[in-house]
Amino acid sequence: MTAKRALALLATAAALTTTATTASTAAPAHTAACTGYVGLTFDDGPSGTTARLVDALGRNGLRATMFNQGRYAAASPALVRAQVAAGMWVANHSYTHPHLTRLSQPQIDSEISRTQQAISNAGGGTPKLFRPPYGETNATVKSVAARHGLTEIIWHVDSQDWNGASTDAIVQSTARLTNGQVILLHDGPANTLAAIPRIARTLASRGLCPGTISPLTGRAVAPS
């Protein structure tokens, strides 16, 4: 890692720690009328945009499941700790984001196990949820994940933010969510970050609140 990148990551971690303190003490935006719960999920962090993402979520009373890549968790453990401090849930999204269905069983196991270790070492706890990169899975991937105590989580709604979706389109995608469903979002796209306040208002207008994802059912439920 270059000195420049190391300094940038330290600055990001410091900013996110401050954000986490603010977010964790902020009053939830949806305490009054929750008629259902949905799972907001963000793939591919932690990254240089994580601080702004967590800040936006916290300011709008939202919590989310962060499907982190192991290599990024290992490189930026302070960001993982800050995600947790901000009230987010941390999950496994493989170590290097490969096409797992093209790998051997030992290779799949390495991708999953190294991520479990990286997240645990970073202070993110032991993940219970796993999302295969690209949503690609098969019996072998599911079996290996299960051996590590992980429930595989895909999604019900794809925001298409990874594909250049506009802020309007991302907000509209959240309007399709129903009770218990999970939406795919990403840590990175500027349009996703811009959509956060409107996502919060859209969910609130429909009586839907951000929930945790149950490892028993794979569906969003009320946070415990």
**Is-contact 40 91, C-beta < 8 A?**
no
Q: Please state the φ and ψ torsions of residue 217, each to the nearest 5 degrees.
A: -115, -20
Clarify whether 44 is annotated catalytic.
Answer: no
Catalytic residue among 43, 44, 161, 187: 43
| Residue 28 DSSP symbol | P
Spatial separation of the C-alpha atoms in residues 3 and 142, rounded to whole Å: 39
Clarify whether 43 is annotated catalytic.
Answer: yes
Beta carbons within 8 Å of 66's beta carbon, 6+ residues apart: 41, 42, 45, 46, 83, 88, 89, 90, 91, 187
Q: Is 78 strand, coil or helix?
A: helix
Catalytic residue among 93, 161, 186, 187: 186
Structure tokens, 70: 């192991």
Q: For residue 151, what is the enclosing H or E element?
A: strand 151-152
Q: Distance of alpha carbon 50 from its chain centroid, rounded?
A: 10
Q: Which residue, among 170, 204, 172, has the nearest Cα to 188 in the 3D structure?
A: 170
Catalytic site residues?
A: 43, 186
